[in-house]
Amino acid sequence: MRDRVWWGAVLLTALAGVVLPSAGNVLLAAAGSGALWAGLSGAHRGLLLRAASGVLWGALVALAVLLLADRFDVRYVWIYSGAELPLHLKLANLWGGDEGTTLLLAAFLASLAAGGAARMRVDVTALLAAWYALTAAWLGPFAATPADWLAQGASQGMNAHLMKIWMLLHAPLILAAYAWTLSLAGPALAALGGVDARWPGGALVHARRAWALLTAGIGFGMVWAFEDAMYGQVWHWDPVQTAVFAVWCLLAAHLHGVGGWRAGRTMWRWVPFAALAAALLTAVAMAVTRNDTLASSHRYVGASTWAAHLALAGVLLLAGVALWLRGLRTVPALPRPVRRNLAAWGLRATQVTFVFIGLCACVHLAWAFVASAQDLPRPDDLQPFFETLKNWARGSEMPALRAAFAQWDVDGYALARLLLLPMAVTGLIGGWFFMSRLSARTGWLTLAIALPLCAAVFAQGGLLAHHYAGSGVLSQQIVRVLPLVDAALVAGAFLALGCCAWSLHGAWRTRRNAGYVLPLGLLHLGAVVALWGGLLATALNGYSQHFIDVDGDWQREHQGYAFRITALDVDRTPDGGRTRGEGSFRALAQIEIETPSSGVLRGQTLYRDARSAIAGYAGPVRQICEILDYRYARYADQPGYVLHPFIDHGWGRDLQLWVATSSAVAALEGGPQAAKAVVVLRVMPFASLLWIGLTLMSAGALWLALRRVPARGEVRP
């Protein structure tokens, strides 16, 4: 019966949304109202939530059909899609805007609420679903396109930065992870208030899935960022990245403390606190994504819902404080607390460290907002390339350039320096923890080796300090922290060794338990390998810059590489992306690269612009700054403009060849200048470790997330 209700709601809503789109927003409001009633009242809760979930998923189906059918009479389709887009990108626009994203999040939450059985009088997950469903209805994804918009053009077109296959993976994984994280608010509040004395197994499944999907989503985002000039690197402490990192850390803290949890034990509030903080920060992360106070490469342009997300975070905070105060009165300490061994205290220390790391990220993010609100001057070391650009800027441009570089974002250098020591401590604790599970003597003996080794590489320098050449971007910023980076790498290796030894030993001795210990070992090994890859690639990266002729001779450079541009093809055929008048074009540069091993790589790079060809695009120096510094890339960004490199992934290094061909395009269009191109070659050693580590970590996390959880009262870590 319940399945019939859900399927009936899906089919009827989808049909109504396609045939009569104006009814879609009304149905969304009805679904939100039904979820609200179900959250506040236990009467017919299951039926109402099934119906609300079906309506929300039916609305998504209808919106997908409208996108695929190019129904530009619907405002959402007109804003985000284009007739020339391939089908998979039209479908990806389902979560390309704030309206679709909010609707998808509401559908996820309604399904989680419908599939669970909240034992509290108030179903928090249902209320969260109602909140986002009503927000989606207010945004009006099914609203009609204004007539004057249609007169301007058939559609606005897709954001050119989103026209990648990763759009199908990164965004929905992050949103699913957000939904599962938000669903932890209910059990966390119940635990803090003393309603739940033991952590429910269903909530553990949600936490595992949230962490697994968030890890995978972040990984796909890193791959995507590696291909776009707005990033050009895998991580740069963008405000949204910082907020999501805090969520990731607090989920990890929660999972490290949930094993054997029971209300009343020593430090018992840390587990529900971490879960509630993760849910709260999820709402904060979505607010940051939609707020333009800080400079960010992640943004829903024109979105106005940041206040709704921030208000939700405030409500969760107030509810947490109220139930925490209630728990102080109603949850007595256990009469005979369980005696904790050193291994258990090691888990707690790891949990506390993750909370500390997550809160550090939050403090730096909050400080950026405070500094912006108080109009504090941004330090010079956070404005690389600005002095260079001042010498090349036009006089009329200087106010805009100054404003762009004065806009605050997170001080990633200071945050990274702060977090390296806790990362090293986490590695040492984790390595000792897993080694001690083999035997107490093994744990202490290996720690006695790892700890002095970390101290030695910190004092005298290790792998990075001895091999650092200073040929990369942000060289001086990295020099300051090389000793700490070396120590963190050694501590991480100790953790990986200990976890692998324990998981293999446990799987061999008790094969029945292999489905638990092997993915746990895979997860920790992947985390360390990814850490090694990310730190090594960042610290040891190198680059060279050139201004060369198209169809010219081989260009040699100091790292043993040679390259040339063999052809430039300019295509003005509409591709469904953002355009401006008749000037949109795609310039594909065919390139060849000769590697130090004498192999020849062939491929192409993309320069797309919605404007007509601009001679030199304000000069080669500015284009080089744009490629090397994401801050200037954000400033130079225009609707419909993207620059994508040729990338070669190798076991020992990843290579990027960026080719900006604005001068060459202008020359082909009949301009007086020569057909030249700006070329930047970047080499990132050991970046393959990052991709391998992310794959291993995601695979292990998903393995655990899909594993059957024992019955209530038998929850394992």
- 690-713 pLDDT, tens digit per residue, is 999 999 999 999 998 887 655 444
- Regarding whether 581 and 671 lie in a shared domain, the answer is yes
Please tell me whether residue 269 adopts helix, strand or coil conformation. coil
523 pLDDT above the threshold of 70: yes
- Regarding whether 560 and 591 lie in a shared domain, the answer is yes
Q: Determine which of 90-99, 177-186, 572-581 has the lowest per-residue pLDDT on average.
A: 572-581
Please check whether residue 498 lies inside any domain of the structure: yes
- Regarding whether 566 and 529 lie in a shared domain, the answer is no
Averaged pLDDT, 665-692: 84
**Tell me, what's the pLDDT at 299?**
79
Q: Determine which of 328-342, 535-549, 609-623 has the lowest per-residue pLDDT on average.
A: 328-342
452 pLDDT above the threshold of 90: yes
Averaged pLDDT, 516-530: 90
- Regarding whether 12 and 107 lie in a shared domain, the answer is yes
714 pLDDT above the threshold of 70: no
133 pLDDT above the threshold of 80: yes
Q: Decide which of 617 and 258 is more confident.
A: 258
Quick check: 5 and 54 in contact, CB under 8 A? yes
Please check whether residue 240 lies inside any domain of the structure: no
- Regarding whether 555 and 492 lie in a shared domain, the answer is no
- Regarding whether 584 and 483 lie in a shared domain, the answer is no
Quick check: 489 and 655 in contact, CB under 8 A? no
Give how many domains the chain has, as a whole number: 3
Residues 6+ apart with CB under 8 A from 54: 5, 6, 7, 8, 9, 10, 13
The last residue of a domain, from among 138, 158, 178: 158
The last residue of a domain, from among 141, 158, 175: 158
Q: Determine which of 190-204, 212-226, 319-333, 607-621 has the lowest per-residue pLDDT on average.
A: 607-621
247 pLDDT above the threshold of 50: yes
- Regarding whether 513 and 461 lie in a shared domain, the answer is yes
211 pLDDT above the threshold of 70: yes
Please check whether residue 478 lies inside any domain of the structure: yes
- Regarding whether 529 and 431 lie in a shared domain, the answer is yes
Please check whether residue 200 lies inside any domain of the structure: no
Question: Whole domain around residue 90: which residue ranges?
Answer: 1-158
Please check whether residue 36 lies inside any domain of the structure: yes
**Tell me, what's the pLDDT at 710?**
54
Q: What average pLDDT does the chain have?
A: 87
- Regarding whether 560 and 503 lie in a shared domain, the answer is no
- Regarding whether 451 and 418 lie in a shared domain, the answer is yes
Q: Closest by alpha carbon to 682, among 220, 165, 229? A: 229
Whole-Å CA distances, 111 to 28, 61, 280, 455, 682: 15, 15, 20, 50, 45
Please check whether residue 328 lies inside any domain of the structure: no
Please check whether residue 343 lies inside any domain of the structure: no
616 pLDDT above the threshold of 70: no
Please tell me whether residue 545 adopts helix, strand or coil conformation. strand
Please check whether residue 177 lies inside any domain of the structure: no
**DSSP, residue by residue, 55-119:** HHHHHHHHHHHHHHTT-TTBHHHHHH--TTS-HHHHHHGGGSSHHHHHHHHHHHHHHHHHHS---
Please tell me whether residue 340 adopts helix, strand or coil conformation. coil
- CB neighbours (10 Å) of residue 263? 24
- Regarding whether 8 and 142 lie in a shared domain, the answer is yes
- Regarding whether 146 and 133 lie in a shared domain, the answer is yes
Q: Which of 134-143, 375-384, 562-571 has the highest average model confidence (pLDDT)? A: 134-143
